[in-house]
């Protein structure tokens, strides 16, 4: 417990934890103050995500290579998963899908691009493990193709097309999870020697004792889930107050909030010239959302959602995911980076953000 | 003749030749038993394709490098060509086009992916000639762009658009064949030193004497043509009986049947760590179908079809061909493979197969 | 002045300057002879573009590295810019957009492909600077994504969609210019050591004295502007007389005329085995048009056009620009070229030209 308090004292971001009780109090006292609730819930989620991430890594560090890798691979995007579950339970499928696509695009372009830029401003050139980047890009490309297909099938807009898209989505969800599992087998077992250096767990932070880590993991997950409920309820109305389109909110705002903790790790690694780690966090997180979180949400929608969710995304979102994946393939292809490579990825992200910002409401 | 009998005795696949007389008898006695005729014709085509392939290679081996390469390059997909001609004569243009697109996708994803996987299960890493893979991918990419354009032009759905698409298809057919010819000049003549190792003819089988090879080539082609007639007539109705969509049959079933012999060679080469050969067969076959077989079918449709055939494909098929080509570029880019690379290509193929399987009938 | 006369005497292309007074006389005497005016204006623009290019490089050579690079980077496509401005003033926005997209595609596929082919017919293999080709491809890819988005937004065809597309285009124009500026900072300043050899200014021609160069720059720009007015007025009607579609004229004819001078330099460098220079001219020019000329035209349309111009292109044009960019990425990826690589790029160009040639008028 002292360790946890020390961690909070040392890390300025964790001072934001003060927002957690405030947001709960506000949700009860002023449930209609959507803009305030939105800002408070964002301020509360960011430090909770940071704690969650540290706790996961601490448990992973104790359980050894393969099990730890597996744990990181499944719980690494717990924050995104919990936020999406809150939206799923509320039947906000458009928001769930926008946040999935947005998280893939944000991790692939913003987290990767900003890592390249921040690292590149300090170092003339930086090297990283190409094999790892290629594998993650390949998994992302697979997921992108899977997201493309249901939109193609459902083009006809008839009832039989919708049923076909739903059946296909279920099959694709199982296939993507199988692909993700085989990818873990490849990177953690059969060919792990070529992925050395891209290991998630080497963040350099001191791991917590296992008891503290497990307790934090459980407690903080509950807190994130509770704050997410408030976040999901307030985000759309707050967005209107700020003049943002729903697409912009789902794609950009939710993705930046959900990924804040990982971004902090990725950027700090880039500044320490450990670009392997930055690339691993950015692309690994994107492929995890595409091949693990999204399928899990489809399967869970049969249990907890008002109706089954399919994988049929807004065509514009699919195009953005596809272009983000191709951009990631392109910028990581040489295994070497300089500041301008980061600028390129960030500019693609800005083009998407600008497009979503001006999108007429009729188009989602 | 003894050699031919010995070949049949040694190769278990050739025992299937017994299906050839049975399918002819069945076609006369029970012409309405579509499902049985379909299964029998598949069983008959597979070993015939194997004989055809061996005969072509034997002739090629005798006629020396350049002429042999040319022969392999034109007759290498004789089975696919003969099946497509049977469909062309029957005016089944949708089936012809589906089988062309399906053969490209199946060779690029399934044959290549399964070769990588089968080889990768035995060897930790396998190397292959990048230059050859890059050239074939480039040819495939060219063909994909050519297939994209008529769909774009004909989008307007008017009579003038259809006429424009027809005129364009004729021009594209000539251009693709010219591209294919120049590609052969490049690989067999001017720059053949960089394509060493990816040679089709080195399958390690004992070549037959030229007389036997030529006689087999002629006789078996006639048999394949006759069985194909039965296959084309029965395939759609049999598919209904199995609950398959016509798109699934054309794309997946016909392509797997037509390419069975080459797949056997490619997989066996991969298991012998001769991945150059596997990649050469898979991508060479795909680019041959796209740049030689498809244009030949367009030109022949003016002579033997009920009306001229254009190159305007169902947009979904064009997207799949494009994604298959990009996948091939991606997985062959490094010149090195491991089992998971094969899994990636196979999973893309499975996504396409699943999509075609659930496709509502209205969408083709 | 003697130098200028000597230049004209030595270079056969410059004899075409005789067409300049003829086209002005003809425009006054026979203003209705559109076909003759079109041919004369083409004959007049080509040598003027050559002089403009030499003058720009002479000024650049005198002003030192960074300033010279900047000058070349902004004035290198002065001919294209002046022609487009003439079309902009006439309110011919479809022609302006077609000429922008056409110039990108023509430089990327025709200029690059013909350089590879011409060089490859003389040398077995040629090497070039991959880093430079990768950077230019990356910039082109960024611009392609920017061109894709307004078409996506404006898909709805409503008034609010058009307003959104216009607002977005303005933002994208600023973003692309910023990207272009940062790209120059990267190549001319912070990382110039890796771009050695791809320098535009080393064309091997003797630079003119600064006074002559500046005077030529000013005088010839005025002449190009005047001839462009005649060209823009006559081109569409002349095209009808030749049986060409407007899309073909804007995309192919205008682009070939506007880029003639640069093509001469790129081809001559390829024949001298200085492929770095050819690739730099071809891709550098394409990215300059996409990231500098196009945004400048959008911004200038607010000042001199009848109404603001957006970046919403005909979807077919966007697809062609995207495929041209991917082709450029693919053919320059290995840093090595042979004749067939050029054939591949030229064939993609021919597919586009054929498509535009048969395009039904209804589709633009």
pLDDT at A140: 96
Q: The tokens of A286 are what? A: 């994107």
Rg (CA), chain C: 20
Helix (H), strand (E) at residue C18: none
pLDDT of residue B364: 47
Please give the pLDDT value at position A287: 93
| Domain boundary assignment for chain A | 2-358
What pLDDT is attached to residue C204? 57
Report the pLDDT value the prediction gives residue C198, as an integer from 0 to 100: 47
- Shortest Cα distance, chain B CAs vs residue A168, angstroms: 7
Nearest Cβ partner for A138 among B319, B344, B359: B344
Rounded Cα–Cα distance for residues A268 and B34 (Å): 66
Answer yes or no: do C142 and A348 touch at CB < 8 A: yes
What gap in Å lies between CA A360 and CA C206, rounded to an integer? 55
Distance CA B20, CA B11 (A): 16
Residues of C in contact with B178 (CB under 8 A): 347
DSSP A202-224: ---PPPPPHHHHHHHHHHHHHHH
Q: Which of A316, A347, A354 sits opposite C142 (nearest CB)?
A: A347
**pLDDT tier at C345 (50, 70, 90 boundaries)?**
very high
Q: CA–CA distance from A273 to each of A203, A262, B221 (Å)? A: 12, 17, 63
Beta carbons of C179 and A347 less than 8 Å apart: yes
Which residues of chain C does B190 touch, with a Cβ-Cβ cutoff of 8 Å? 338-340
d(CA A188, CA A135): 13
Whether the pLDDT of residue A64 is over 70: the answer is: no
Is A355–C160 a contact, with Cβ atoms under 8 angstroms apart?
no
Contacting residues for A115 by C-beta, under 8 A, at least 6 apart: A266, A267, A269, A270, A275, A278, A279, A282, A342
**Residues in CB range of C212: below 8 A, 6 or more apart:** C1, C3, C4, C58
Mean pLDDT of A331-357: 95
Give the tens place of pLDDT for each residue, A335-345.
Answer: 999 999 999 99
Q: Considering only residues A97 and A63, tell me which one the structure prediction assigns the higher pLDDT.
A: A97
Q: What percent of chain B has pLDDT over 70?
A: 92
> Is pLDDT of A364 > 70?
no
Answer whether residue A203 shows pLDDT above 60: no
Structural contact between residues C151 and C318, judged by C-beta atoms closer than 8 angstroms: yes
Residue A361: what pLDDT? 64
CB contact under 8 A, B323 and A145: yes
Does the distance separating the beta carbons of B358 and A160 come in below 8 Å?
no
Q: What is the pLDDT of residues B154-210, one digit of tens each?
A: 665 567 778 888 899 999 999 999 999 999 999 888 998 888 654 444 555 677 888
Q: Give the three-class secondary structure for A127.
A: strand
- Per-residue pLDDT for B28 more than 90? yes
**For position B15, what pLDDT does the model report?**
81
> How far is residue C200's CA from residue B177's CA, in Å, rounded to a whole number?
37
In this complex, which of B326, B343, B359 lies closest to A164 when CB atoms are compared?
B359
**Quick one: average pLDDT of A67-82?**
77
Q: pLDDT digit string (tens) for A205-218?
A: 677 888 888 898 88
Residues in chain B whose beta carbon is closer than 8 A to a beta carbon of chain A?
124, 316, 319, 323, 326-327, 330-331, 334, 338-341, 343-344, 347-348, 350-352, 354-355, 358-360, 362-363
Which residues 6+ apart lie within 8 Å of B272 measured at CB? Answer: B204
Which residues are B126's β-sheet partners? B337
User: Cα distance from B355 to chain A (closest Cα, Å)?
Assistant: 7
CB contact under 8 A, A344 and C179: yes
**Do residues B227 and B26 make contact, with C-beta atoms less than 8 angstroms apart?**
no
Are B319 and A190 within 8 A, CB to CB?
Answer: no
Question: What was the pLDDT predicted at C22?
Answer: 92
Mean pLDDT for C34-55 is: 88
Average pLDDT for residues B218-246, to the nearest whole number? 87
- Residue B198: what pLDDT? 47
Given a cut of 90, whether residue A321 has pLDDT beyond it is: yes
Question: Which chain B residues touch C if contact means CB-CB below 8 Å?
Answer: 134-135, 137-139, 141-142, 145-146, 148-149, 152-153, 155-156, 158, 160-161, 164, 167-168, 171-172, 175, 178-179, 182-183, 186, 190-191, 329
> Are the Cβ atoms of B360 and A182 closer than 8 angstroms?
no
Number of C-beta neighbours around residue A2 at 10 A: 7
Model confidence, pTM: 0.92
Confirm if C225 and C41 have CB atoms less than 8 A apart. Answer: no
Closest Cα in chain A to C186: A340
Mean pLDDT, all residues of chain A: 87
Chains with 3+ CB–CB pairs under 8 A to C are A, B
The stretch C39-67 carries a mean pLDDT of 82
Q: Which chain C residues are closer than 8 Å to A318 by Cβ? A: none
Asked whether residue A40 carries a pLDDT value surpassing 50, the answer given is: yes
Q: Mark yes or no for CB contact C171/A348 under 8 Å.
A: no
Q: How confident is the model at residue C203 (pLDDT cuts 50, 70, 90)?
A: low
Indicate which of A129, A130, A147, A152 best probes the interface with B, i.e. most B CBs within 10 Å of its own CB.
Answer: A152
Q: What is the DSSP letter of C249?
A: I
Who's near A211: CB < 8 A, 6+ residues apart?
A: none
Spell out which residues of chain B touch residue C325, defining contact as CB-CB under 8 Å: none
Q: What subunits make at least 3 CB pairs under 8 angstroms with B?
A: A, C
CB contact under 8 A, A167 and B358: yes
- Look at residue C127 and give its three-state secondary structure: strand
Of residues C338, C351, C360, nearest to B172 (C-beta):
C351
Residue A306, number of CB atoms within 10 A of its CB:
11
The answer to whether C358 contacts B153, with C-beta atoms less than 8 Å apart, is yes
Residue listed under structure tokens 């104790």 = A62
Which chains would you list as touching A if contact means 3+ CB atom pairs under 8 Å?
B, C
Of A94-98, A247-251, A316-320, C348-352, give the lowest mean pLDDT range.
A247-251
* Residues of chain A positioned with their CB less than 8 A from the CB of B362: 156, 158, 160-161
What value does the mean pLDDT take over residues A79-102? 89
The predicted structure's pLDDT at residue B307: 86
| CA-based end-to-end distance of chain B | 46
**What's the CA gap between B355 and C19, in Å, rounded?**
61
Q: What's the pLDDT score for residue C158?
A: 66
pLDDT (tens digit per residue) in C227-257? 988 998 888 888 888 888 878 888 898 899 8
Residue of chain C nearest B161, judged by CA positions: C360
State the count of interchain CB pairs (< 8 A) between A and B.
Answer: 76
Q: Which residue has the tokens 């809150």?
A: A86
Q: What is the pLDDT of residues C185-198, one digit of tens each?
A: 998 889 988 886 54
Q: Do C343 and B152 touch (CB under 8 A)?
A: no
Mutate to test the interface with C, among B179, B315, B327, B334 (most CBs of C within 10 A): B179
pLDDT at A198: 47
A-chain residues near C142 (CB < 8 A)? 344, 347-348, 351
Considering only CB atoms, which residues of chain C are within 8 Å of chain B? 124, 316, 319, 323, 326-327, 330-331, 334, 338-341, 343-344, 347-348, 350-352, 354-355, 358-360, 362-363
Mean pLDDT (whole number) for A231-257: 86
Using beta carbons and an 8 Å cutoff, which residues of C are at the interface with A? 134-135, 137-139, 141-142, 145-146, 148-149, 152-153, 155-156, 158, 160-161, 164, 167-168, 171-172, 175, 178-179, 182-183, 186, 190-191, 329
Query: What pLDDT score was predicted for residue A58?
Result: 82
Over residues C104-132, mean pLDDT: 94
Contact call for C358 and B175, based on CB within 8 A: no
Check pLDDT > 70 for residue C64.
no
Confidence (pLDDT) at C259: 87
Of B149, B158, B190, nearest to C355 by CB-CB distance is B149
How many A/C residue pairs have CB atoms within 8 Å? 76
Q: Which pair of structure tokens corresponds to residue A149?
A: 């297909």
Q: What is the pLDDT of residue C250?
A: 84
Select, from the ranges B354-363, C242-251, C271-280, the one with the highest average predicted confidence (pLDDT).
C271-280
Whole-number Å distance between alpha carbons of B294 and B322: 16
Over residues C128-168, the pLDDT tens digits come to: 988 889 999 999 999 999 999 988 776 655 677 788 888 99
> Tell me: domain A2-358, CATH 1.20.1420.30, correct?
yes
Per mean pLDDT, which range of A336-340, C11-15, C45-49, C213-217 is the poorest?
C11-15
Residue of higher predicted confidence among A345 and B358: A345
Task: Evaluate whether A344 touches A113 at the Cβ level (below 8 Å).
Answer: yes
To the nearest whole Å, the CA of A109 is away from the closest chain B CA by: 20
């Amino acid at each position: 417990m002292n360790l946890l308090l020390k961690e909070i004292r040392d890390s300025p971001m964790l001072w934001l934890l003060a927002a957690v009780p405030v947001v709960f109090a506000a949700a009860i006292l002023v449930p209609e103050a959507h803009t305030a609730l939105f800002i408070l819930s964002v301020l509360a989620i960011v430090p909770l995500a940071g704690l969650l991430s540290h706790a996961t890594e601490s448990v992973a560090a104790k359980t050894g290579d393969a099990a730890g890798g597996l744990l990181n691979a499944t719980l690494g995007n717990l924050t995104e998963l919990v936020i999406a579950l809150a939206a799923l339970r509320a039947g906000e499928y458009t928001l769930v899908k926008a946040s999935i696509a947005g998280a893939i695009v944000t991790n692939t372009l913003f987290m990767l691009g900003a890592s390249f830029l921040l690292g590149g401003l300090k170092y003339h050139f930086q090297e990283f493990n190409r094999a790892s980047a290629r594998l993650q890009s390949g998994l992302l490309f697979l997921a992108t193709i899977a997201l493309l297909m249901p939109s193609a099938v459902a083009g006809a807009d008839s009832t039989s097309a919708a049923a076909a898209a739903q059946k296909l989505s279920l099959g694709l969800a199982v296939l993507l999870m199988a692909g993700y599992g085989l990818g873990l087998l490849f990177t953690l077992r059969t060919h792990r020697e070529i992925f050395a250096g891209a290991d998630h767990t080497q963040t350099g932070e001191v791991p917590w004792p296992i008891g503290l880590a497990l307790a934090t993991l459980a407690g903080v997950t509950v807190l994130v889930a509770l704050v997410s409920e408030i976040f999901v309820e307030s985000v759309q109305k707050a967005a209107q107050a700020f003049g943002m389109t729903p697409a912009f909110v789902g794609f950009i705002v939710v993705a930046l909030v959900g990924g804040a903790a990982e971004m902090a790790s990725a950027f700090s690694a880039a500044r320490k010239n450990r670009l392997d780690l930055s690339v691993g966090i950015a692309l690994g997180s994107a492929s995890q959302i595409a091949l693990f979180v999204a399928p899990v949400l489809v399967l869970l929608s049969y249990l907890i959602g008002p109706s089954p969710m399919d994988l049929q995304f807004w065509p514009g979102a699919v195009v953005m995911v596809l272009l983000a994946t191709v951009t990631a393939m392109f910028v990581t292809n040489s295994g070497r980076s300089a500041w301008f490579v980061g600028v390129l990825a960030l500019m693609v992200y800005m083009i998407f953000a600008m497009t979503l910002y001006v999108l007429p409401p009729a188009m989602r």
